[in-house]
Structure 1
Amino acid sequence: MIGSHRNPHIDLLRGAAIASVLVLHFALAYGLKDSPLGSLFGPAFVTAVARNGNYGVTVFFVISGFLITTNSLARWGSLSRIDARAFYAARARRILPPLLLALAIIVTLGCAGVPYFDNSDADPALPASFFVPAVGSVLTFWHNVLMQSAGYFNYCLNVYWSLSVEELFYLALPLVALLLRRTWLLVLLGVALIVAGPLYRAAHADNELYYLYGYLACFDAIALGCLAALLAHRLHRPLPHARLLRWLAGAALISLYLRGIHGHEVFGFTWIALAAAVLLVTRRRASGASMATARMLAPLRWLGRHSYELYLFHVVVLALLRNLFSKEEIGYAARLPLFALFLAASALLAWGVRRLLARRIRSTGRSGLPGPA
């Protein structure tokens, strides 16, 4: 959703989701609980906020399913009338230019042997030639599958597992919609995916490469987003008690997030996705926030508008920082300034890339990817 078509409430939710991912990855690299933030808010709270960032990815999946379905219905009137060629072309124009730029940076530095860009996360380290299947898997929607067989092998590239989940959804949606044609069959498929998600995660609850990154581990969130969009499309007036539902869903989202992933690998992601879906269905079309609240939340909405570029390039910034400053060198007082530097540099790079590729972004029209939109 570009320009005037953007919904500020969805941008806000997306901004919170990408913020949780940024915090997670910085905390994994440098730690945050032993910083002024830990002293201010308590180490347990900071750890909960930082360590559960994968729930933010789940929220991305819900937004993706919701926006792709909503925008397809708005453009073609029915999912069964999707123009697959136009759909794929729009997705490629939006996704590929910044992705190819990010991959070019990572591969160039990785082949030069720069730590955190090469394939040394694997044990033993993999050669530069492994970039061929690695980059190929990112571009052909199975990077998460490659990780399940090779493990964590590249600090930067492994972040792109979620894009493979998104891309497979984009590939499948027009084909499935044109094949099934009936809305009730699409709904039935969505329900089947929602049931399959917890079952798959239960079968792999002891292996995060599966319960976090597998297709079936993530498609229940996308399905909930799609079903939420189909419901919203049929609503001719706001849901009864929409404001109450929105507040309850927001409270549930925060509570589930802070409760954490550990011990809740099976249903935790589904409940997070359901709360996010309720927020989307009950969202307000016009902002009723005060000017003060709007200004206060503006940075989070900005993150939402630039979430795809942040997703792609924040790990490049973090890898560069890790080459400059080891975790052992960064003590209590330095962690918060370094975190601020990481956020500022990631935001500046994301803004620059989006500006550089703005013409291509505008040419896609409305978009539904939680990062790329």
Structure 2
Amino acid sequence: MIGSQRNPHIDVLRGAAIAIVLVLHFALAYGLKDSPLGTLFGPAFVNAVALNGNFGVTVFFVISGYLITDNSLRRWGSLARIDARAFYLARARRILPPLLLALGIITVLGSVGVPYFDNADGDRLLPASFFVPAVGSVLTFWHNVLMQSAGYFNYCLNIYWSLSVEEMFYLLLPLAGLLLRRTWPIVLLCVAAIVIGPVYRAHHADNELFYMYGYLACFDAIALGCLTALLAERRAAPLPYARPLRWLAGALLVAVYLRGIGGHEVFGFTWIALSAAVILLTAHGQVNGGVAGSRTLAPLRWMGRLSYELYLFHIIVLALLRNLFDQPDVGYATRLPLLVLFIALSALLAYGVQRALQSLRNRDKSGLPSPA
């Protein structure tokens, strides 16, 4: 976001990232290679597109690091002058209302034993009381750590591991500014995170709960986003050859994505993050242009604006669909229509939640009484 204007390039990138996350979760639930898409494009290509969606989360981390740093620089002038109280309150106002709603839905349905909402994974069934540490870990930034000890235990809740990574970044950024006081130590801290990330993933390449979900496995992507914002802030003029560089970075991102995560756990995430960072750098300050007016990319821009709500609520929609349509009963001809239905329902729910919460915020700002 640039002032009060959104950057359409960022919205498109964010829309693409959430789209591949949705496709990943649908493919894990129902499969896509045995569908008309598999016949049209080939099973190998469909699997490459559908099953590497965790790279989309890496793109989100880069965007988050970039936007939070850029907005903080614009508001306070430097990271050392961040007003921690104002920063935390702003993050809480954005994150908590839709998150609490999603957690409430999952907890209520899971507590009464609705499949895919309860604390069950495989042959294990944890009691409803496990929602206390599970939900608590989401709200206190260590759900990914809980998963590393408990394994996969709740179909809906477990996707919120990435929110814990982002929340930890939100917690640490003002503290880093307060303690380090100057930009160059923060830059060194980001460089250290970028170096540590592949090393950490290399030591845990046999366990996705660590190489994919650990703080140290993800902070390098956030750090690249932070460095991108710091570099962009110091440039007085637009980046030369921005468009060809952006296309080159986009091509690299697609190539690494299609190559896949398997066998490339160590540096695959680094290349995805670096590609996304270059796209953000070349798009810095460009609130107009071809992407802004492209009708073809309008759905991705729209999804990008809804990405947080889509992230929170799509898994609820998918869990409900899995209760209605068993995987063995979903055949070749029905997988693609079900995918379309899943995306449409997720988008409608996300849009409804966003509009409802925005309406409540506007009503509170206007001083009008909230509805009973």
- TM-score of the pair, normalised by structure 2: 0.95
Gaps of 5+ in 1: 366-373
Paired residue for 2:69? 69
Once the two structures are superposed, the pairs formed by residues 311-350 of structure 1 within 5 Å of their partners are 311-350=311-350
Q: Letter of the 2:218 partner, please give it.
A: C
C-alpha contact 1:194 1:224 (8 A) present in aligned 2: yes
Which residue is 1:142 aligned to? 142
Q: Which amino acid aligns with 1:61?
A: F
| Residues 363 and 143 (structure 1), Cα distance of their counterparts in 2 relative to 1, 3 Å cut | farther
Instruction: Report deviation, 1:288.
Output: 2.2
CA contact (8 A) 2:2 2:287 kept: no
Checking the alignment, whether the CA contact within 8 Å between 1:93 and 1:360 is kept in structure 2 is no
- Indicate the SS of the match to 1:279: helix
Is contact 1:94-1:360 (8 Å) kept?
Answer: no
* Pair 1:199 & 2:170 matched: no
Q: Which residue of 2 aligns with 1:57?
A: 57
- Give, in angstroms, the shift of residue 244 of structure 1: 2.0
Partner Cα distance (2:2, 2:233) in 1: 20
Deviation per CA, 1:75-124, whole angstroms, max 9, x where unpaired?
00011000000000000000000000000000000001000000011642
> What pairs up with 1:195-234 in 2 under 5 angstroms?
195-234=195-234
Q: Which residue matches 1:369?
A: none
What corresponds to 1:249 in structure 2? Answer: 249
Q: Contact 2:8 / 2:291 at 8 angstroms: preserved in 1?
A: no
In 2: Cα distance, 1:181 partner to 1:113 partner = 50
- Return the letter of the residue paired with 1:224: L
Render the CA deviation track for 1:242-261: whole Å, top value 9, x for unaligned. 22211110110110100100
- What are the residue-to-residue correspondences of 1:14-53 with 2, within 5 Å? 14-53=14-53
Give the aligned residue type for 1:287.
N
1:85 pairs with 2:85 = yes
Q: What amino acid sits opposite 1:323 in the alignment?
A: N
Q: In the TM superposition, what is the alpha-carbon distance from 1:38 to its structure 2 partner?
A: 1.0
Distance 1:203 1:362, change over 3 A: farther
Work out the CA distance in 2 between the residues paired with 1:267 and 1:337: 36
SS of corresponding position for 1:295: coil
- 5+ residue gaps, structure 2: 366-372
Q: Assess if the C-alpha contact under 8 Å between 1:121 and 1:153 holds in 2.
A: yes
1:288 equivalent in alignment to 2:279: no
Distance in 1 (CA, whole Å) between partners of 2:270 and 2:290 is 29
Supply the RMSD in Å over aligned alpha carbons. 1.8
**Residues 303 and 364 (structure 1), Cα distance of their counterparts in 2 relative to 1, 3 Å cut:** farther
CA displacement, residues 230-281 of structure 1 (integer Å, 9 cap, x when unaligned): 0000001122222221111011011010010000000000110000000000
How many residues of Structure 1 are paired with residues of Structure 2 in the alignment? Answer: 364
Counterpart CA distance in 1 for 2:280 and 2:31 is: 32
- Matched to 1:176, the amino acid is A
Query: What pairs with 1:115-130 in structure 2 (closer than 5 Å)?
Result: 115-121=115-121, 123-130=123-130
Aligned mates of 2:234, 2:26 — CA distance in 1? 42
Q: Matches of 1:141 and 1:286 in 2, distance apart? A: 33
Between the aligned partners of 1:214 and 1:137, the Cα distance in structure 2 is: 14
Q: Quick one: structure 1 residues 272 and 364, their matched pair in 2 at CA, closer, same or farther if it must change by over 3 Å?
A: farther
Counterpart residue type for residue 215 of structure 2: Y
Please say if 1:279 is aligned against 2:279.
Answer: yes
**Residue 193 and residue 61 in structure 1: after superposition, are their counterparts in 2 closer, same or farther (change >3 A)?**
same
Question: CA, structure 1 residues 174+302, in 2 after alignment: closer, same or farther (shift >3 Å)?
Answer: same
Q: Cα–Cα, structure 1 residues 117 and 26, in superposed 2: closer, same or farther, change >3 Å?
A: same
Structure 1 56/362 Cα, relative in aligned 2: closer, same or farther at 3 Å?
A: farther
Partner of residue 370, structure 1: none
State whether residues 6 and 287 of structure 2, in contact with CA within 8 Å, keep that contact through their aligned partners in structure 1.
Answer: no
Are the equivalent residues in 2 in contact too, given 1:94–1:364 (CA < 8 A)? no
Q: Is the 8 A contact 2:55 2:272 kept in 1?
A: yes
CA distance in 2, matches of 1:2, 1:349: 27
Q: What does the per-residue CA deviation read over 1:181-214, in whole Å, with 9 as the maximum and x for residues that have no partner? A: 1100000000000000000000000000000000
The one-letter amino acid paired with 1:50 is A
Helix, strand or coil at the partner of 2:120: coil
Relative to structure 1, the CA distance from residue 290 to residue 346 in structure 2 (aligned partners, 3 Å threshold; closer, same or farther) is: closer
Cα distance between partner residues in 1 of 2:188 and 2:43:
44
How far apart in 2 are the matches of 1:319 and 1:85? Answer: 37
Indicate conservation of the 8 Å contact 2:291/2:297, yes or no.
no
**1:207 to 1:138, Cα distance in 2 relative to 1, 3 A:** same
Higher relative contact order (CA 8 A, sep 6+): 1
Counterpart Cα distance in 1 of 2:275 and 2:28? 26
Superposition TM-score, scaled by structure 1 size = 0.95
